[in-house]
Amino acid sequence: MRLRRSRPVIVVCGLAAMVPLGACAPSFPAQSAGLPDVAAVQTTAPLPTDTAFPEETQDAAESPTADQEGDSGTWLTKWGPLSETDRSLIKKVRLATLWEMVIAQEAVQKASTAKVRKISSEIASQHHELDEAARDLATKLNVELPVRPTDDQQNWMSDISGRTGIDYDTTYVKWLRLAHGQIFGLIGTVRGSTQNTLVRKFSEQCNAAVLNHQRLLESTGLTTPESFPTPSA
């Protein structure tokens, strides 16, 4: 029996062009006529964005390996377990930057005393460094960051921006000192409990910065009992 020769088969391969997709981030909403425009505030350490706060692009290669249902539970990562409390610190540091750095930049220009203007410049600069660290950490750990301040934080900004003279300085110091006191406890909790090596290092950076900010704010002599969080029972 004779076998037929097979005809050669030619496979033609085509190249497909990949078209990147872009996304527009929401603009930061001003709450009042007195609220500073992020783009208009002049400083040597500006936010890494213009007038909007885009969500972070996550690196899938560095993302946690465990299934993530929403934002609850503990995620497994190559740097150690990542707890809800760990993620909360990263997000709250980002939230702090979204309002404290902006209002500190405004205070550099608007505060009535040289002392408040000087400490505000240092606070704004350190928040710029913290924001870079938080954004880098969120990318590695696949944590979604907030893109605008909370309602309370926006109200604090409006309250500060709507004042002038020594009243501006006092209100500015009051709200910033209160906010720093609130997050300070969370930083200590994370530093003492986290099993994630990246978060542990981040918490130490946050601890040093927030402690310094509290000292700077208190050095103005403008702190009052209202500037401190309500003691726990």
Q: Cα separations (Å) of 214 from 13, 25, 163, 220?
A: 64, 32, 22, 10
Q: pTM here?
A: 0.68
Distance CA 100, CA 28 (A): 14
Enter the DSSP assignment of 41: -
What is the chain's percent helix, strand, coil content, to nearest 5?
A: 55, 0, 45
Q: Residues 160, 171: contact at Cβ < 8 Å?
A: yes
Q: Is the pLDDT of residue 154 over 90?
A: yes
pLDDT digits (tens, 9 = 90+) for 102-127: 999 999 999 999 999 999 999 999 99
Strand partners, 82: 75
pLDDT for the residue 71: 64
Q: How confident is the model at residue 77 (pLDDT cuts 50, 70, 90)?
A: confident
Q: Which of 181, 43, 184, 46 is nearest to 117 (CA)?
A: 43
pLDDT digits (tens, 9 = 90+) for 156-191: 999 999 999 999 999 999 999 999 988 999 999 999
Report phi then psi at 27, rounded to 5: -80, 150
The owner of tokens 């726990």 is 232
**CATH 3.30.70.890, domain 84-227, yes or no:** no
pLDDT digits (tens, 9 = 90+) for 17-53: 333 434 444 444 444 434 444 333 333 344 433 334 4
Distance CA 204, CA 172 (A): 26
Sketch the domain layout of the chain as residue ranges: 84-227
Q: What is the 3-state secondary structure of 170-203?
A: HHHHHHHHHHHHHHHHHHHHHHHHCCCHHHHHHH
The distance in angstroms from the start CA to the end CA of the chain is: 98
Q: Which of 48, 142, 166, 156 is nearest to 100 (CA)?
A: 156
Distance CA 161, CA 194 (A): 37
